[in-house]
Amino acid sequence: WYMITFTHLYQRWSKSSIHCYINGQLVSNTFFPWSIESADLFDKCYIGCTPDRSDLTSFSGQLSTFYLFSLYLEPLIVQGLYKLGPAYKNQFKFENESAHVLNDSQRKSMYDGKLMSSIVFNYNPVACEEKLVLQAAPKTNVSYFVHTAHAQMLSNVRSVITYSIYSTLHSVGGIQVFFPLFGQLDHQQADGSINYNVCSILLSTLCELIERSYTIQHQMLNSKGFLAIGYHLEKVLI
């Protein structure tokens, strides 16, 4: 996936500029004297296409969460947004949601309330109702919309929802579903051979899940997962 970010740095007494970031890294910038009056009204905004909806100028692919902020995003914040990943769709309200992803300076700059209050709109594939993309910005924020802030999907657009491995594991019973697999390491393949790499693959997968999820860590402790794995491995070795 790619995260594309455009920032507009307004300078009252000098040249304003637009900066383009890809995956949190600055790739291009240019001076752009864009004069916008506060009384100007914009009646339409197209995301992923131009007003003529031409196939040549329309985006083809999947879009994750789409934010518009009313303030200039510092490079530190842009890098923090990229670290949060494509599945992030929240309002930068609770600092604990990113405790294991962001460093201290990024958390302070992103969760001081300014970024949350500057969200003009927040659209994501999860907050959809039929052909309507719901506005997911905080309700206490200043509204810049004359009418409704919800977005309308075009005729050839549809919502695609994916689920992480963690939510999928939770649906089938948690990390405990892995434990019985360690008791089947000596099962023969169709050709009568035994694949001795399965054990290392299972262990590395389990380690990655534990490292990246607090929920998995608690499940391992509460279910005495390491004892269960040791029990199955002992039976296989015997």
Q: State whether residue 85 is helix, strand or coil.
A: coil
Tokens of 47: 């995301």
Q: Which residues contact 90 (CB under 8 A, 6 or more apart)?
A: 97
- 117-163 pLDDT tens trace: 999 999 988 888 888 888 889 888 988 887 788 888 888 888 777 77
pLDDT at 117: 93
Cα angle 78, 69, 134; round to 5: 115
CA within 13 Å, CB half, 208: 8
pLDDT at 38: 61
- Choose among 71, 55, 96, 80: nearest CA to 9: 71
pLDDT at 19: 94
Contact 232, 183 (CB under 8 A): yes
Rounded CA-CA distance 14/11 in Å is 5
- 199-229 pLDDT tens trace: 888 888 888 888 878 888 888 888 888 888 8
DSSP state of 98: G
Q: Where are the domains of the chain?
A: 4-152, 165-237
Please say if the pLDDT value at position 237 is more than 80.
Answer: no
